[in-house]
Amino acid sequence: MQEIIWATRPDLIIETGVAHGGSVVFSASLLELMGGDRQVVGIDVEIRPHNRAALEQHPLAHRIRLIEGSSTAPSVLAQVQSLAANKSRVLVLLDSNHTCEHVRQELRLYSPLVKKGSYLVVFDTDIEHLPADLIGNRPWGKGNNPMTAVKEFLGKTDRFVVDEEMEAKLLITVAPCGYLKCVKD
Ligand SMILES: C[S@@+](CC[C@H](N)C(=O)[O-])C[C@H]1O[C@@H](n2cnc3c(N)ncnc32)[C@H](O)[C@@H]1O
């Protein structure tokens, strides 16, 4: 992700799935190094008060915006679209609910914000290859996960391709087939 962020120099990073805020702070730190008014917007269906407080007190808080609500809710999408309206380079990272249906909707709603040269990264596509006992009692699993949604999405669009160079560098990743490069506006 560091290489992608540094190479594509996004004006706005959109992340679905905040949890404790580790990945939004990571994104914010790289945006801070690049300067300007770059920001990361983190969306989560539940931002717990202690996590929100920690992010609001963080030294990089000025780079972070939080939106509470489902990433697929129309009101949430409207807020994100308005933040992205005047941004030319938007990077989207999907790491919220890992069911195929949810990621399918996220891909439909968020992919139009990504333009040629930028990326849409779908995390936890590796669920497809995990043994069932590692997944536990979750609504996702083999055949119903972010990879299922990515494969379906790639079958319907010519705007994105899997960045095979990224895959070749990583060797081991939680996002196999998940680094999607936008090749067409
Ligand atoms: C894997 S965690 C995110 C981890 C975070 N990206 C990181 O690496 O630090 C997934 C998060 O997605 C959130 N989530 C689940 N369903 C969601 C939805 N419909 N919309 C937005 N967030 C959702 C959960 O509340 C949880 O905090």
Question: Ligand 1: does its nearest atom lie under 6 Å from the Cβ of 44?
Answer: yes
Question: Ligand 1: does its nearest atom lie under 6 Å from the Cβ of 43?
Answer: yes
Q: Is the pLDDT of residue 167 over 90?
A: no
Question: Ligand 1: does its nearest atom lie under 6 Å from the Cβ of 165?
Answer: no
Name the CATH superfamily, with its identifier, for domain 2-182. Answer: Vaccinia Virus protein VP39 (3.40.50.150)
- Determine the Cα–Cα distance for residues 18 and 36; give it in Å rounded to an integer: 23
- Please name the amino acid found at residue 37: D
Task: Give residue-wise pLDDT tens across range 93-125.
Answer: 999 999 999 999 999 999 999 999 999 999 999
Q: Would you state the structure tokens that stand for residue 5, as one six-digit string?
A: 């962020």
Question: Ligand 1: does its nearest atom lie under 6 Å from the Cβ of 16?
Answer: yes
- Centre of ligand 1 to C-alpha 90, Å, is 20
- Centre of ligand 1 to C-alpha 148, Å, is 18
Task: Give residue-wise pLDDT tens across range 37-96.
Answer: 999 999 999 999 999 999 999 999 999 999 999 999 999 999 999 999 999 999 999 999
pTM value is: 0.98
Find the mean pLDDT for residues 114-141: 95
What per-residue confidence (pLDDT) applies to 137? 92
- Determine the Cα–Cα distance for residues 99 and 103; give it in Å rounded to an integer: 6
